[in-house]
Amino acid sequence: MAEADGFQPQEGEEVLWRGRPRTGFRWGLPQIASLIVGAPSLLGGLWMLAGALQAGPDLFLTLPALVASGFGGAALLAGFWYEPRRRAGTRYVLTDRRGVVIRDGPLGRRQVIAREIRADSPLDLVELGEGLGAVWFHKDRVRRAGEPGWRTVFIGFEQIEDAGRVYMILQGLRDAQAGGDGPSAAGPGA
C-alpha cells in the first residue's frame, strides 16, 4: 500500500523508517552564499539603474544594470526560496532492502533516487547541530558537467532529527547482509 509520500514497496519489502528533512528556516550554506552573492549584485544593479535613468534612457547604461539586478534577485531566490522549497518537497523511506529519496521537482515532476543497501555500502553519520544529522548510505561517481574528471555525489537522508536511530538501522541491515551479529535492524532499544 502506498503512503502519502507516493512510495510503493516492492513485493515482500518492509518499510523500516519514513521521514522528512526539517523544513523550517535556518541559516545554512545556501542562504549565506546567496546573501553574499545576491545582495551586493542586486543593490549594485539597482544603484546603476537609478544612475542610468537619471542620465536618460540609454540602452548601454540600462542593460548592465538590469542584468546585475536580475542576477542578484535570482541568487537571493535560489537561497531563500528554492532551497527551502526543495527540502519541503523531499521525503525519505528506508526499507529492509534499499534507501529511497523522493523529491518533488519544480514543475510537479517527481524524482525518485533508490539505492540498494549492501554489506559493502558506505555508511556515514554526520551531526549537523541543532539536533539534526545526515546519514549517507551510497555514493556515486559522476562526470563533471563541462569539466574533465569525476566528482562524488553522496546519497542519503539529510537534515533529519533521528539520524542516530536511522544510522543504527542501516548498520543492522549491513551487518545482517554480511552475516554478522550487529545491532538489530529495529534500532536501539528494540
Full domain range(s) for residue 114: 90-178
Residue 123 lies in a domain: yes
Residue 189 lies in a domain: no
| Number of independent structural domains in the chain | 2
Mark whether 125 and 149 lie in a shared domain.
yes
Overall pTM surpassing 0.75 (yes/no): no
pLDDT one-digit tens code per residue, 109-158? 888 889 999 888 889 999 988 788 999 999 888 887 777 888 888 999 99
State how far the alpha carbon of 151 is from the alpha carbons of 27, 83, 87, 148, 163, in Å.
26, 22, 23, 10, 25
pLDDT at 5: 62
Mark whether 67 and 114 lie in a shared domain.
no
The mean pLDDT value of the chain amounts to: 83
pLDDT one-digit tens code per residue, 70-91? 999 998 888 877 777 777 889 9
Mark whether 58 and 112 lie in a shared domain.
no
Give the CATH number, domain containing residue 113.
2.30.29
Residue 156 lies in a domain: yes
Contacts of 177 (CB under 8 A, 6+ apart): 117, 118, 119
82: DSSP letter: I
pLDDT one-digit tens code per residue, 39-48? 999 999 999 8
Mark whether 76 and 139 lie in a shared domain.
no
pLDDT at 93: 94
Residue 167 lies in a domain: yes
pLDDT one-digit tens code per residue, 52-69? 888 777 778 788 889 999
Mark whether 78 and 139 lie in a shared domain.
no
